[in-house]
Structure 1
Amino acid sequence: MGKSLTPPPEDGDDHILPVDLKAALEERYLAYALSTIMHRALPDVRDGLKPVHRRIIHAMSEMGIRPNSAFKKCARIVGDVIGKFHPHGDQSVYDALVRLAQDFSQRYPIVDGQGNFGNIDGDGAAAYRYTEARMTEVAALLLEGIDQDSVDFRPTYNEEDSEPVVMPGAFPNLLANGSSGIAVGMATSIPPHNAHELCDAALHLIKHPDATVEKLVEFIPGPDLPTGGIIIDSRESIIESYRTGRGGFRVRAKWETEDLGRGGYQIVITEIPYQVQKSRLIEKIAELLIARKLPLLEDVRDESAEDVRVVLVPKNRTVDATLLMESLFKLTDLENRFPLNMNVLSMGKVPRVMALNEVLTEWLAHRKEVLVRRSNFRLAAIERRLELLGGYLIAYLNIDEVIRIIREEDEPKQAMIARFGLTDIQAEAILNMRLRSLRKLEEFEIRKEFDELTAEKADLEALLASDEKQWKVVETEIQKVRKDFAKGKGKPFARMTQFADAPEADLEAIQQAMIEKEPVTVVISKKGWIRALKGHIADTSTLTFKEGDGLSLAFPAQTTDKLLLITTGGKVYTLGADKLPGGRGHGEPIRIMVDMENDQDILTAFVHDATRKHILASTAGNGFVVAESEMTANTRKGKQIMNVGMPDEAKLVIPVSGDYVAVVGENRKMLVFPLAQLPEMTRGKGVRLQRYKDGGISDIKCFAIETGLTWEDSAGRQFTKTKDELIEWQGDRASAGRTVPKGFPRSGKFAG
């Protein structure tokens, strides 16, 4: 309804209509959302095109820019598109046109571009006044039969022209070229596929309409990206993605090693993942190199010309190429995940996520409908022509009478209709005949054409009456497309993306490969502050601490090491030595890095070694053996190893060695028993080590019984008790033990 231009009556009323804001917003936003979904962001399942792409192709068709015609300026094409069909910005239309011409964006470009249309480095195209374009054979296939009433047309935005609602789409464009777009509340993301494989799957579907996705994946193993690369997903994962219409594909760069002689080599990357900008990728690798996150890599160079060639130089010839590449795949876009979300407009109306078989089925149904409409159009044209030819034949058989009527009658048309029983159209055609058409030869040609058209009409009527014949014609058309886009070896449409399993790489080794190996000294203060000083420092007396704080622990490590921190609450936390604060200042409190309870303190810390085992003991004298490989924690929360409850606490962590254990209590009684009597556990309270009336444990030592038990007093003197001398202290685990030997340190510790 047009707005009224007459002013409101002057009756004192301002004629403002109150509108509920919520309802108005909902209505307007819904209209905007629908417009975005239907007319901008989602492709139609039948031709795989969004409105802007369809309008570009249609405008080029109207301008007569065919695959075999001359190139025309893109400015003219863009002007026609926005002037007649697409009332949006020229830049957005030109960007869409450019993308249709890029062979690294489209698996089968729809536009043949001449000039600078951008490159894989992410550089933009030249302005549209410099570039030229024409259709490719793919665009011609999409348009095939458009002038034969094969699809519906609708008025354009200003109702001056008309545009196709959908293209006839003789090419499986949706899956062959893929699509991506963000609408309102929904998005679409479809990677390109191989046209030959799509045709194979479609032909199978014609014969077996109930074919499963598993069967179709035998024909379409996965996407075929214009930039190549290697897909490393499992077949099960690919089938699941195609079955649900949602998922993703992990794509890796294709690389090989080049021998430089004398044992040296370099890595050359020849294909990168789809839609990754090469220049940005190399910048990222260079940034990581400068930040010393890639210790195995020496340098990166871009030697690309027409083809991609990125050279990676390893630090030295001993570097494992697979390990280097695995660390790069983890940190950069050399491995990229391309999402799959087959959210398309089903039959041009309903947005929904479709499975692979549904997409192909709808395309086939569309092809069949196009065939029926084309056949009906041709049938109508034949019937019109046969009507004319029938009139001509009557004229030839009665030529003298026809000439007499035309010469003598005032109303020759009516006279002829009355005399020969002609239709209005036939009479008009006879009156419009040229004199030169009256030669005898023409009669034979008309009879021949009449017979041919009658036979064609019979064929078309038979085709329209038989579903089976229609599918046979669709099959023939698809076979022709398959032949034109055959993927044989060396052909332009050969499969570009390969499939492989990702090598089983040691995650630990990859983590190590991402850290520069440097010596550090880990320092932990009594109040729980931690830092890492560069180099291995032997003299710790020069270290400074905050007032009231002092040294608790200091030990050498490498930046590639993992550190285990054990608390009095029986928990273990894992920290990477490379993540520790530097030696400037006093470091940071450990409680910032891990979630430690306030009533717990650090008992000890050491460099992780998966081959070792430890005895854990609590104040009350319970303990067990635990393998260090079971002690690592993956989160800030840590891992509970020893179950203790206040006032009992974890007190001792002693590395396991030898075959016997000596335990000393605070009551200065010592017990020696075989290590075999201690159970090995991954978590628990442990078993009683020694029995006490009061007090708890003081110290533990592991030793080999054959070499005897050694301790050191406060003066640094060493004492050793041999196997035979230890007999009076030997007993079973959980015994009380006997008073410590003479010379045992007063501290109750084996090390003075």
Structure 2
Amino acid sequence: MSSESPDADPGDVRAAQVTNARIEDEMEQSYIDYAMSVIAGRALPDVRDGLKPVHRRILFAMNEAGVTSNSAHRKSSSVVGETMGDYHPHGDSAIYDTLARMAQDFSMRYPLVDGQGNFGSVDGDPPAAMRYTEARMAPIAEELMADIERDTVDFQANYDDRLEEPEVLPAAFPNLLVNGSSGIAVGMSTNIPPHNLGEVVDATVELIETPDASVEDLMEHVKGPDFPTGANIVGRNAVHKAYKTGRGRIRVRAEFEVDEEEGRIVISELPFQQNKSRLVERIAEDVNEGAIEGIRDLRDESDRDGIRIVVELKRDAMADVVKNQLLESHLERTFGVINLALVDGSPQVLDLKQTLEHYVDHRREVVRRRSEHELAEREDRAHILEGRLKALDNVDSVVETIQDSDDRDAAKTALESAFDFTEAQAAHIVRMQLGSLTSMETAEIEEEYEEVKARIERLETILSDPDELDQVIVDELQAIKAEYDDERRTSFIEDAGDVTHEDLIPEEEQVVVMSEDDYIKRMPLDEFRAQNRGGKGIIGTGLKEGDRVSSVFAANSHDYLLVFTNHGQIYELKTYEIPEMSRTARGKSAVNLLDLDDGEEIESVVNTEDLDDDEFLTMVTRDGYIKRTAVEEFGNIRSTGIRAIRLEDGDELVDVEVTDGERDIVIGSRDGMAIRFDESDARAMGRTARGVIAIDLREGDAVAGVAAIDDGYHNWVLTVTENGYGKRSDLDEYRPQSRNGKGLVDIKTGDRNGEVVAIEAVTHGDHLIAMSAAGQIMRTRVEEISTVSRNTKGVIVMNLDPDDEVASVDIVPESVHAAADDEGDDDAETDDE
């Protein structure tokens, strides 16, 4: 019954139901609602699967229709129609444009649709009409859909409540980073570049295994964007900023070759999303208008094998000038990174680590739900199999009970009563055929039951142990990497458009000296002429009171050096960055070059010019541990250094050698012991590993150094002691042993010799550079040092002042010191001082 008075005026009643509102408030709220609808429903990808709703709906519609990678291609109009009719109630042109882009190998790093027909080109040509093209899911797209039928993700009603669609796909790989995304919403936009699948998988695995990994640690795996069209990224700073902040501007430069002999510039790769046809037109327009000079012809010779734009130069044109004009206006573009994605329905700008963390959380939820779903299925199956086995044990009675029953329902009831079967077991037994009662069928049921029980146990372990669940994710990611990973297409180049400081520095061999108080300098190698052994040498550096020399090494002024410290850190250093000073100068503080901690000292230096990707850096510690790590693990070293080896409390890194997997290792101890073994006895490990025991040291002994022997090159093992004595011994004197032995006596130590300072593998023509703690430096030919057997005292190598001792030793190969001597002053000082 109405509460309104029967005499009330209908107009007053309607007026009472009207709510007054400020028009600006209503417009603001309506606009916000519209904006959020566009943001969440159209323009921005989900951080979990990297897809916008239209991409997700197309793939789901194809999956539901069975248009998978193993099926025949289906007309694109059919796919568009099913997507629009069931899931995406928008225009067919928007759906088809998205479908076409997912099939373009120049737009998607890993296309999600396998297209057949004309789907457009890098010249900006549009795809053919949808009635002419055909499509099906690409194999990698099925990895995004994998296990969707196993309750791995939540579903929601479609637009007309007839069907259900997934809120997100299971996504077995981090598609947001792998394929990137771009879109413009209301008041915000996203522009995420594509990346190499293998690099992203490696970073994801690193994050799973090391949750506290920093963005810098992850960037050791993800080198930078990897565009489907290749080209080059200029510099790395912008990439680093984008990964750390979620925003950055990356310069992408075309790949081209300047052929001065033929007088042409050939362009073979273009920046991502650059229209090739429009590029050629714009270059031609600039040539006609006089903005670019020196070009006489321009041809587009591109075909299905790749891009080839030929710029023919005039006879008197300077190729570098034309190249710079093209770079300034046409061959370089900026990719603005905005790593914006939906997190729990809200847009967020994410750094690299946050992006992967959200993905890993999603995969953990997917694997957990999948395991729970499978566990329920397996438990149901195990329950049925238990009933079948029980029925087979009582087969005669079961058959007789069924025969005596009036109908199926009565038979089920009788079985439940007589044999304590559950309703499900009884229903299954009643439906069993007589052929399943054979002995072979029985054996198969027993075998299946054992397999089901084993799988149940495995699933329960996964669900109860987070580490096991993470390992499942890691294994699946690595399987996808093995299946779909390919070579990086986009390279990194430095901006060489301007003359750099390095271009102004002459290439020459240098000696670098560092003290315990972190003073460092470099001097030309030719200032130190070779002397006979037993000389005192000349002043190599001036030291302040209480300071001592800690290391000396030789390098070219343009070399890039890997610097290892006693704390197990590795730094990258350019030789020319070290201040060049006179022999008597103290040097400059190294604080501006290397971020060393208190007590951290340089122990070994490796020249990157000597390294190949298939080689190893072999490290030994004071306490006798050895570790080999592949060179490729050190591809991205931060200015603050990275860890090269994990050290136990009190242990220190002593020495590093470059090996190729086939060398013999000789490790010398300070008490004069040495052990030789095959480097393969110490398996290759990651950067953060500790390594394995190399030598069983006596109490109070410590490792002095390591030598890597190439039997086809080296002739002797050279040992030098702190009191300036040393010797050469034939390689045959050091018989190979197993790792972790006590070794053999290498040299007699004691009051005369003191402890061993260094052990090196040398050959004919090598020079030894020895430096004392007080700053004296001596260079001598290794042949000057006598060849004697093991277990001898050796001869004097360097004549030291009282209370002085040898601090550091380095070997200069013949090819290096010969070149330096040829360029040096023949009147260089060689007398002792």
Which AA in structure 1 matches 2:482?
Answer: K
CA offsets, 1:247-289, max 9 Å, x none? 1210011111235xxx541111001110011111111111111
Which AA in structure 2 matches 1:303?
Answer: E
Q: Could you tell me how far 1:296 is from its partner in structure 2?
A: 2.6
Q: Could you tell me how far 1:454 is from its partner in structure 2?
A: 1.0
**1:315 aligns to 2:317 (yes or no):** no
Q: Counterparts of 2:46 and 2:448 in 1: how far apart (Å)?
A: 41
After TM superposition, the structure 1 = structure 2 runs for residues 492-531 of structure 1, keeping only pairs within 5 Å, are 493-505=486-498
Q: Could you tell me how far 1:10 is from its partner in structure 2?
A: 9.9
CA offsets, 1:59-110, max 9 Å, x none? 1111111112211111111011001111110000000000000000001000
- Structure 1 partner of 2:415: 416
- Structure 2 partner of 1:241: 242
Q: Counterparts of 2:423 and 2:74 in 1: how far apart (Å)?
A: 45
1:138–1:171 CA contact under 8 A, matched in 2: no
Q: Could you tell me how far 1:331 is from its partner in structure 2?
A: 2.0
**1:280 aligns to 2:296 (yes or no):** no
* SS in structure 2 at match of 1:46: coil
- Structure 2 partner of 1:230: 232
- Structure 1 partner of 2:112: 110
- Structure 2 partner of 1:250: 251
- 2:296 corresponds, among 292, 295, 298, to 298
* SS in structure 1 at match of 2:263: strand
Which AA in structure 1 matches 2:215?
Answer: V
After TM superposition, the structure 1 = structure 2 runs for residues 555-634 of structure 1, keeping only pairs within 5 Å, are none
Q: Counterparts of 1:344 and 1:223 in 2: how far apart (Å)?
A: 17
Which AA in structure 1 matches 2:447?
Answer: K
Q: Counterparts of 1:125 and 1:245 in 2: how far apart (Å)?
A: 33
**1:398 aligns to 2:394 (yes or no):** yes
Largest Rg, 1 or 2: 1
After TM superposition, the structure 1 = structure 2 runs for residues 294-443 of structure 1, keeping only pairs within 5 Å, are 294-306=292-304, 307-316=306-315, 318-332=316-330, 334-346=331-343, 348-410=344-406, 411-443=410-442
Which AA in structure 2 matches 1:384?
Answer: D
2:263–2:314 CA contact under 8 A, matched in 1: no
Task: Sort the Cα spacing of 1:264 and 1:440 in 2 relative to 1 into closer, same or farther, 3 A.
Answer: closer
- Structure 1 partner of 2:449: 450
Q: Could you tell me how far 1:436 is from its partner in structure 2?
A: 2.5
1:99–1:105 CA contact under 8 A, matched in 2: yes
* SS in structure 1 at match of 2:51: coil
CA offsets, 1:506-561, max 9 Å, x none? 79xxxxxxxxxxxxxxxxxxxxxxxxxxxxxxxxxxxxxxxxxxxxxxxxxxxxxx
- 1:43 corresponds, among 45, 53, 63, to 45
Q: Counterparts of 1:83 and 1:13 in 2: how far apart (Å)?
A: 45
Q: Could you tell me how far 1:427 is from its partner in structure 2?
A: 1.2
1:323–1:505 CA contact under 8 A, matched in 2: no
Q: Could you tell me how far 1:14 is from its partner in structure 2?
A: 9.3
2:177–2:194 CA contact under 8 A, matched in 1: yes
Q: Could you tell me how far 1:377 is from its partner in structure 2?
A: 0.8
Q: Could you tell me how far 1:224 is from its partner in structure 2?
A: 0.6
- Structure 2 partner of 1:473: 472
**1:152 aligns to 2:150 (yes or no):** no
Q: Counterparts of 1:442 and 1:81 in 2: how far apart (Å)?
A: 46
1:141–1:171 CA contact under 8 A, matched in 2: yes
Q: Counterparts of 1:228 and 1:502 in 2: how far apart (Å)?
A: 17
1:326–1:505 CA contact under 8 A, matched in 2: no
- Which has the higher mean CA deviation after the structures are superposed, 275-284 or 211-220? 211-220
1:201–1:216 CA contact under 8 A, matched in 2: yes
Q: Could you tell me how far 1:22 is from its partner in structure 2?
A: 2.3
1:199–1:482 CA contact under 8 A, matched in 2: yes
CA offsets, 1:459-496, max 9 Å, x none? 1111111111111111111111221233xxxxxx2111
- Structure 1 partner of 2:126: 124
Q: Could you tell me how far 1:396 is from its partner in structure 2?
A: 1.6
Q: Could you tell me how far 1:456 is from its partner in structure 2?
A: 1.2
Q: Could you tell me how far 1:440 is from its partner in structure 2?
A: 2.8
**1:460 aligns to 2:459 (yes or no):** yes
* SS in structure 2 at match of 1:226: coil
Q: Counterparts of 1:161 and 1:384 in 2: how far apart (Å)?
A: 28
Q: Counterparts of 2:136 and 2:20 in 1: how far apart (Å)?
A: 51
Q: Counterparts of 1:179 and 1:267 in 2: how far apart (Å)?
A: 33
- Structure 1 partner of 2:805: none
- Structure 2 partner of 1:710: none
Q: Counterparts of 2:75 and 2:259 in 1: how far apart (Å)?
A: 44
- Structure 2 partner of 1:66: 68
CA offsets, 1:139-194, max 9 Å, x none? 01111111111111111111111111111111221111110001111110011110
Q: Counterparts of 2:239 and 2:282 in 1: how far apart (Å)?
A: 29
1:111–1:136 CA contact under 8 A, matched in 2: yes
- 2:200 corresponds, among 172, 193, 198, to 198
Task: Sort the Cα spacing of 1:19 and 1:296 in 2 relative to 1 into closer, same or farther, 3 A.
Answer: farther
* SS in structure 1 at match of 2:355: helix
- Which has the higher mean CA deviation after the structures are superposed, 432-441 or 163-172? 432-441
- 2:188 corresponds, among 183, 186, 193, to 186
- Structure 2 partner of 1:619: none
- Structure 2 partner of 1:559: none
Q: Could you tell me how far 1:12 is from its partner in structure 2?
A: 5.1
Q: Counterparts of 1:465 and 1:166 in 2: how far apart (Å)?
A: 25
* SS in structure 1 at match of 2:287: helix
Which AA in structure 1 matches 2:487?
Answer: A
Task: Sort the Cα spacing of 1:219 and 1:124 in 2 relative to 1 into closer, same or farther, 3 A.
Answer: same
Q: Could you tell me how far 1:429 is from its partner in structure 2?
A: 1.1
Q: Could you tell me how far 1:425 is from its partner in structure 2?
A: 1.0
User: Percent identity, aligned pairs only?
Assistant: 44
Q: Could you tell me how far 1:57 is from its partner in structure 2?
A: 0.7
- Structure 1 partner of 2:34: 32
Gaps of 5+ in 2: 1-7, 501-833
1:393–1:447 CA contact under 8 A, matched in 2: yes
2:140–2:484 CA contact under 8 A, matched in 1: no
1:42–1:343 CA contact under 8 A, matched in 2: yes
* SS in structure 1 at match of 2:291: coil
TM-score (norm 2): 0.57
Q: Could you tell me how far 1:138 is from its partner in structure 2?
A: 1.1
Q: Counterparts of 2:79 and 2:359 in 1: how far apart (Å)?
A: 28
Q: Counterparts of 1:321 and 1:369 in 2: how far apart (Å)?
A: 57
TM-score (norm 1): 0.63
Which AA in structure 1 matches 2:258?
Answer: T
CA offsets, 1:302-326, max 9 Å, x none? 111121111112233x423232122
Which AA in structure 2 matches 1:331?
Answer: S
Q: Counterparts of 1:10 and 1:225 in 2: how far apart (Å)?
A: 71
Q: Counterparts of 2:173 and 2:100 in 1: how far apart (Å)?
A: 20
Task: Sort the Cα spacing of 1:405 and 1:19 in 2 relative to 1 into closer, same or farther, 3 A.
Answer: farther
